[in-house]
Structure 1
Amino acid sequence: MAFQVLVLNQISSKGLERLPAGSYVTGKDIAQPDAILVRSADMHGMDIPASVLAIGRCGAGTNNIPVKAMNARGVPVFNAPGGNANAVKELVLAGMLMAARNLPQAQRFVHELPPSDDIDKQVEEGKKAFAGSELAGQTLGVIGLGKVGCLVADAAIKLGMNVMGFDPHITVDAAWSLPSQVKKATSVEDVLKNSAFVSLHVPLVDATKHLVNRDNIRLMKPEAVLLNFSREGVVDEAAAVQALDGRQLGWYVCDFPSGAILRHPRIIALPHLGASTREAEDNCAVMVAEQLRDYLEHGNITNAVNFPAVAMPRESNWRVAIANANVPNMIGQISTAMANAGLNIHDMVNKSRGDMAYTVLDVDSPVPDSVLAAIRNISGVLGVRYLPAQP
């Protein structure tokens, strides 16, 4: 039987090609899908069929997916961290240049010039109002040093900027990729106070909502540029507008237009273009399709936002994958169910992440339905999948 994959948005053909015909059927009208591929469609009001085993988000953020509800069903939600990182990095650089050189105002000035014989004279007289500053020698503060933040820091250094960064939860991989020239900041306030440009690259969670707010935005330099290409709620828009109107901030550049900031002369609001490049869409779709396939066929998990990472090479033809609540004695009960049926566990991996745990077992012989049913009946087990090797 081929896996059925429901596609909610236009997904890059390069990604869909990673789900081979014959083994996978993809489409927008699949009633009982095994998996769902999505980009921006809001799934919170969607009746997600019980048949769904996994959801793949072709991008980094998963705010449009009911992740907590999927936790309760034992359904992993995959994403593509870093797949659009270069696209976002380039847009951040564009935002810095637009603000530093007053490009939106300058372009508007030229656009509104009346056709005349003395247009050269008008340009020469008018351009004085748009004199800007160069990036080289300026200080960029980066808050959030994941894949995008590290790329932004590296690009800024190559442009001759000084860079300071802050991330209390930096990963080992990010630390290795961070340029050595980046000065370590001690706090968000440290970055805001000492930077001519501040670029935000953090997820929107309770701890980062209004990370930049009325209390700390006043620490920024009057001509400073605040760039938000992470999530709308990371910046208190009202505080940004107030700071701009009070000449306590130079520019606010973001990727999230709203009624509160439209047509403000010192705000550059772009229509959520961060990941909107052909390359980024291809990269994200390929990453997620490959992760989805590895999970559906082998039970391995890479880049799931709600499950631990688990990858185990196959060493037998019979594999069982179990999603369960992270509670004591779960492995003991699973092992007992196998032993009672005379089954030998050849290899096993068990990992947890918060309240969720995930176990993959390779068994030396076929696993009867009665054993799978016994495991499903263990209190706390959310889902059991039997994955015999395909001929």
Structure 2
Amino acid sequence: MYNVKTFNAISQDGLDKFSDKYQINQIDNPDAYLIRSANMLDADFPENLKVIVRAGAGFNNLPIDRLSELGIAAFNTPGSNANAVKEVVLSMIIASVRHLFPVANFSANNLHADISKMKKIDPRFKGTEIRDKTLAVIGLGHVGSLVANAANDLGMDVVGYDPYLSSDAAWRIESDITRANTLEDAIKDADIITVHVPKNDETTDLIDEEAIKQMKTGVSILNYARLGIVNNQAVVDALDEGKVASYITDFGDDVLMNREDVVITPHIGGSTVEAEGNGAVRGAKIIQRYLETGNLSQSLNLPNMNVSMHSPYRITLIHKNIPNMVGQIATKAADNNFNINQMSNGAKGEMAYTMVDFCDEPTEQLLNDLKSINEVIRVRVIKRK
């Protein structure tokens, strides 16, 4: 019996995917964690914990390096909330050009005003259409590609920029979307700019004072990626100067408060019933696959390893990526008179992962010998059902 502990409200759609070999939230020393936004950066992880899955795209709430040191496989579910974010971004793009938020606020406080007459007095009441507007999409991954294609279908002139565009992502982009070679080329003529990149050292303050200088006057900026990718102080300064017309973001910040030209939503980009269900379902499948077969796909800290399990027993080893580890593992098996049916190895950065299949049940002596190898972090036995 495997045990899973959940954090946050995990969709029942995902919990229902666990087979009868799993217990949910029965013990505090489980085999797996299934989480959403719970902050695990300073958490004490139980000794039995083998895998942690973040049901969502981000993973800045996971201490990846420390999980690797403990031999815990880490995963997220990128793309599970992509459609939800796409839809809210499109709605915010339309809201920005039609000035829907200030107009709605006015109407709420002036219920009997004749809005048609107000258009002659206040320019906020005369919006524009998104058709033929230029949209710069920075980052063309799961979300960015959906935003770009949808905006293109709505008649916008879309320019995409992503220096790390994968071949798979490239196939997702419609052929008539312009692909810029630099950030400056993407943003210089844009009416609206939306960012969809992960947050890291390279993307922090990606949209800063210098980038804003390259934009045309009257641009609108959206950030539904991560706090810090857009430098909020630089945007506020540009709003004050009239360089930027509006800023819409999913991440609150003191510097943005109490401004009519800023719209802040409470981190709702991926918060839909469908998105939460998608993330939970994918998370449950990842946990079961890893615990029952040892196979890995798109792990955050371990290499992709997908090997069919035909033998009765499989040993998995998480270890440092150093020379002669495979040789040492094979030698320990031979010294214990175990014949290897199949052996696979892969590496990701400083971490490596080895799977060894046997016909005979591994002995405690073999397991102890494998654990004694320097730089081996975790040894686990899986029995084929």
The TM tier, using the shorter chain, reads over 0.9
Q: How far off is 1:219 after superposition? A: 1.3
Match of 2:209 in 1: 214
Match of 1:374 in 2: 369
CA contact (8 A) 1:302 1:310 kept: yes
Match of 2:219 in 1: 224
Match of 1:63 in 2: 60
- Structure 2: state its 5+ residue gaps: none
Counterpart-to-counterpart distance in 2, 1:346 and 1:174: 37
**CA offset digits 1:208-242 (Å, max 9, x no partner):** 11011011111112111111111011011000100
1:79 matches 2:76: yes
Is the partner of 2:135 in helix, strand or coil? strand
Counterpart-to-counterpart distance in 2, 1:103 and 1:214: 27
Counterpart-to-counterpart distance in 1, 2:383 and 2:314: 6
Q: How far off is 1:335 after superposition? A: 1.0
Counterpart-to-counterpart distance in 2, 1:64 and 1:345: 39
Match of 2:347 in 1: 352
- Structure 1: state its 5+ residue gaps: none
Amino acid at match of 1:375: L
Counterpart-to-counterpart distance in 1, 2:142 and 2:106: 37
Counterpart-to-counterpart distance in 1, 2:300 and 2:235: 31
Aligned positions of 1:153-232 closer than 5 A: 153-232=148-227
CA contact (8 A) 1:106 1:127 kept: no
Amino acid at match of 1:56: V
Is the partner of 1:335 in helix, strand or coil? helix
Q: How far off is 1:245 after superposition? A: 0.7
Match of 1:100 in 2: 97
1:298 matches 2:290: no
Which residue of the other structure, out of 298, 313, 318, is the alignment partner of 2:313?
A: 318
CA contact (8 A) 1:78 1:292 kept: no
Q: How far off is 1:383 after superposition? A: 0.7
Amino acid at match of 1:19: F
Q: How far off is 1:46 after superposition? A: 2.1
Match of 1:272 in 2: 267
Which residue of the other structure, out of 24, 40, 44, is the alignment partner of 1:26?
A: 24
Is the partner of 1:142 in helix, strand or coil? strand
State the identity as a percent: 38
Is the partner of 2:194 in helix, strand or coil? strand
Q: How far off is 1:259 after superposition? A: 1.4
Match of 1:343 in 2: 338
Counterpart-to-counterpart distance in 2, 1:111 and 1:290: 47
Q: How far off is 1:114 after superposition? A: 4.8
Is the partner of 1:292 in helix, strand or coil? helix
Which residue of the other structure, out of 237, 245, 256, is the alignment partner of 1:242?
A: 237
Is the partner of 1:387 in helix, strand or coil? strand
Is the partner of 1:233 in helix, strand or coil? coil
Q: How far off is 1:30 after superposition? A: 2.5
Is the partner of 2:244 in helix, strand or coil? coil
**CA offset digits 1:348-391 (Å, max 9, x no partner):** 2211111111111222322212111111111111111100112x
Which residue of the other structure, out of 83, 101, 109, is the alignment partner of 2:106?
A: 109
Counterpart-to-counterpart distance in 2, 1:114 and 1:133: 24
Match of 1:10 in 2: 9
TM-score, with structure 1 as normaliser: 0.95
**CA offset digits 1:287-332 (Å, max 9, x no partner):** 1110111001110112321111111111211111111111111111
Counterpart-to-counterpart distance in 1, 2:5 and 2:272: 23
**CA offset digits 1:182-207 (Å, max 9, x no partner):** 21111112112121111111111111
**CA offset digits 1:98-154 (Å, max 9, x no partner):** 101000011011001055xxx4xx322223432111111111111111111111111
Q: How many residues align?
A: 382
Counterpart-to-counterpart distance in 1, 2:279 and 2:354: 27
